[in-house]
Amino acid sequence: METTKAEIELKPAVSAFSAAHDEPAWLRDLRLKMLEQYPKLALPKFDKISYKKWPLTAATKPVVQESAASALADLSLDRANAKNVLVMLGQTVIKAKLDPELAAKGVIFTDIFTAVREHPELVKRYFMTTAVKADANRLTAFHAAFLNGGAFLYVPKNVVIKDAIQSYYIQDSTRDQDFVHHVLVVADENSEVTYSENYATVGDKPNLANVIAEVIGKANSHIHFSAVDQLAQNTTGYVSRQGRLAEDARVDWAVGAMNDGHAIVDFNTDLIGRGSHAEVKVVAVTTGEQLQGINTHVTNIGKHTIGHILQHGVILENSALIFNGVGHIVKGAQGSDAQQESRVLMLSTHARGDANPILLIDENDVTAGHAASVGRVDESQMYYLMSRGIDKKMAERLVIRGFLGNVLTEIPAKEVRQQLTATIERKLENGQKSE
């Protein structure tokens, strides 16, 4: 097989990075294999999202770096004092804390490099083998080759964690360095966990972000997964969250796509086991010149599985937002249910929005449905508010709150709702100032 330019130029740096982190041979070998393959693999295709000219695989040489903790000074970490928390700035662990009672029960929550050193066989069993394969496409292979940060959460059988597991992952763009981050969540049989992750950026260097989260739910597990993504304007991002559920397992996704730069946000949940269940709730706000493409896919494979998608987004200025919702009931998934709703609200005549509902039904004896809309602010609502002395910008904000509130109220965790609401307000305020 012909050696690629990427392999020639980057192989020594990738090998050195792996050695510096004392990675096991299986991970080093996977890195080098994907380094060779990624330029030859196809990019994933997302309907109506034009992103293939984005610099998502313009790799910089991986270097072990000591990040400056002082860069966190201007960043709000509201819940960083939680009982169970991990804070990472670039490659550096700033804070790691796990309740000793949970650790005694076998719970693992640590950065990815510590995990592969201390629990190599456990990580190897699930890392890019189950929810997503390393060679699935060019972006996943790139991710495996250049991984430079992340976390591992394991919840043993029959363990129910009452306190949320909190994480803060901060891209260090005070320097030229890719942000290639992997989160692996495994909930064993009959377990339950609430996991919350937060992405942000410090610095203004133009960098890429390639983020993958794998969420694996064993039989009768329940995972509450929430995320707030706030990558910076100069970050071009690919954020992929992949779930795979066994019999009677459930995952509740609640995600705010609040990035300021171009971003692909890709969800895929495979309902493998009978009675497995996925609820996907997404809110998004776009501003400036950015494009956010959000692709949400739930595949009903087991019998009597449930997959629900609810997406609402707001577009300001010259930005664009595209929602793809895909519900797929495969042959043999009798008694399954696939429902989706995607709605986009445009606040600018220069904005572009799209909501694409896709239902793929290969089985009888199922229920399925979809709703989609793209529209502007209701003028009658605006007139009513302004006639009562409310200025136009505040009236718009109130209408938007009501529009997104339909999704926010569906998110069970109060803390996540509050955080998303605050983040939405920030984006709306910044967007309206620019108009």
The separation between CA 71 and the C-alpha centre of its own chain, rounded to angstroms, equals 24
- φ/ψ of 55, rounded to 5, equals -80, 65
* Of 12-21, 59-68, 369-378, minimum mean pLDDT range: 59-68
For residue 153, give both structure tokens. 């959460």
Strand order through the sheet with 84-89: 92-97, 84-89, 165-172, 192-202, 222-230, 250-257, 277-286, 306-315, 337-346, 367-376
| Predicted local distance difference test score (pLDDT) of residue 75 | 58
The position carrying tokens 């330029």 is: 39
Per-residue HEC secondary structure of 300-344 comes to ECCCCCEEEEEEEEEECCCCEEEEEEEEEECCCCCCCEEEEEEEE
Please list the residues that pair with 355 across neighbouring strands.
Answer: 323
Determine the 3-state secondary structure of 4 from DSSP: coil
Q: What are phi and psi of 284, to 5 degrees?
A: -145, 145
Mean per-residue pLDDT, 16-27: 96
Judge residue 389's burial from the number of C-beta atoms within 10 Å of its C-beta, 0-12 exposed, 13-18 middle, 19 or more buried: exposed
More confident residue, 150 or 5: 150
Tell me the backbone φ, ψ of residue 296, rounded to 5 degrees.
-120, 120
pLDDT (0 to 100) of residue 82: 77
**Mean pLDDT score, 160-164:** 94
Q: Is the pLDDT of residue 4 over 70?
A: no
Distance between CA atoms of residues 225 and 248, nearest Å = 17
pLDDT at 6 over 70: no
Q: Are 206 and 233 in contact (CB under 8 A)?
A: no
Q: Is 373's pLDDT higher than 50? A: yes
Residue 80 has pLDDT above 80, yes or no: no
* 352: helix, strand or coil: strand
**pLDDT (tens digit, 9 = 90+) per residue, 220-273?**
999 999 999 999 999 999 999 999 999 999 999 999 999 999 999 999 999 999
- pLDDT, mean of residues 384-402: 82
Question: What is the model's pTM?
Answer: 0.93
Q: 155 burial class (0-12, 13-18, 19+ CB within 10 angstroms)?
A: buried
Out of 59-68, 75-84, 250-259, 374-383, least confident range? 75-84
Name the H helices within 38-126. 100-104, 112-118, 120-126
Measured distance CA(100)–CA(385) in Å, rounded: 53
Confirm if 193 and 218 have CB atoms less than 8 A apart.
no
Q: How far is CA 201 from CA 45, 65, 143, 208, 234, in A?
A: 27, 16, 19, 11, 9
Q: Which of 386, 313, 387, 391 is nearest to 347 (CA)?
A: 313
Please give the single-letter amino acid code of residue 285: V
Provide the 3-class DSSP secondary structure of residue 86.
Answer: strand
pLDDT reported for residue 1: 41
Query: Does the structure show a pLDDT above 90 at 416?
Result: no
Q: Is 274 helix (H, G, I), strand (E, B) or coil?
A: coil
Least confident of 79-83, 129-133, 219-223, 304-308: 79-83
Output the pLDDT for position 429.
78
Q: What is the pLDDT of residue 71?
A: 58
Give the separation between CA 85 and CA 63, rounded to whole angstroms: 26
